[in-house]
Amino acid sequence: MTTGGAEPSAKGATETEGATASGSTAREGADAGNLAETEIHDVLRNERRRLALERLSERSEPTSVSDLAEHVAAMETGERPPPGNLRQSVYVSLHQTHLPKLDDLGIVDYDTDEKTVDLTDQADQVTVYLEVVPRYGLSRNELYLGLAVLGILLTLSAALGVPGFAAVAPGTWALVALALIAIAATFYTAKQGETVFDRL
């Protein structure tokens, strides 16, 4: 009786466990490919990971860990080429810690044999935040657009004779806006440490 009574219970437990596992698998499947906000925050809070992802987002083909380490070290020190000891330190940390972590999260495809790394499609969930200007919470595109709109408003105000703006020629306001956009673009280009001419 005990055995006979226990069988349905065991069967029911098995079915319940199966349903639970199935539900868990379904939830995991639904979340597959989506990074949690905590994971994205954890990735981006490390400066070396940020610099590595910024560099990879500028490339259209796999990058060697050696080149990546040199770039990150140069960005950290502002020196090109960077000091050899720092470059080696960055290389080791990328190879042993940061790239494996990004690979586990599905953000990069890290070939440990060839020592090359490339972004995956899932990386867009993270790299979109690299465009943010931390202090103001604006993307680069939004910053450029804002400066352009500001220039248009200032130019129109001067052309319409609005007090306080009409004292300056409309063309001057337009030049000021263009200069601000150029300064912002130059800043980001210098921050990348490489121009389009360097990649030719």
How do the domains of the chain map onto residue ranges? 1-32, 37-124, 134-199
- pTM of the predicted structure, to 2 decimals: 0.55
Domain 37-124 sits in CATH at 1.10.10
Instruction: Write down the pLDDT at residue 129.
Output: 77
State the Cα–Cα distance between residues 126 and 39, nearest whole angstrom.
9
Instruction: Write down the pLDDT at residue 161.
Output: 92
State the Cα–Cα distance between residues 80 and 86, nearest whole angstrom.
12
**Phi-psi category of residue 193: left, alpha or beta, with phi > 0 → left and psi -120 to 50 → alpha:** left
Instruction: Write down the pLDDT at residue 101.
Output: 96
What is the mean pLDDT of each successive set of 10 residues along the chain, which is 200 residues long? 39 38 35 78 90 91 96 92 94 97 96 96 85 56 85 93 92 93 79 54
Instruction: Write down the pLDDT at residue 200.
Output: 52
Instruction: Write down the pLDDT at residue 69.
Output: 97
> Which residue, among 86, 59, 85, has the nearest Cα to 75 in the 3D structure?
86
Instruction: Write down the pLDDT at residue 187.
Output: 74
Instruction: Write down the pLDDT at residue 11.
Output: 38
Instruction: Write down the pLDDT at residue 179.
Output: 93
Instruction: Write down the pLDDT at residue 192.
Output: 52
Instruction: Write down the pLDDT at residue 190.
Output: 65
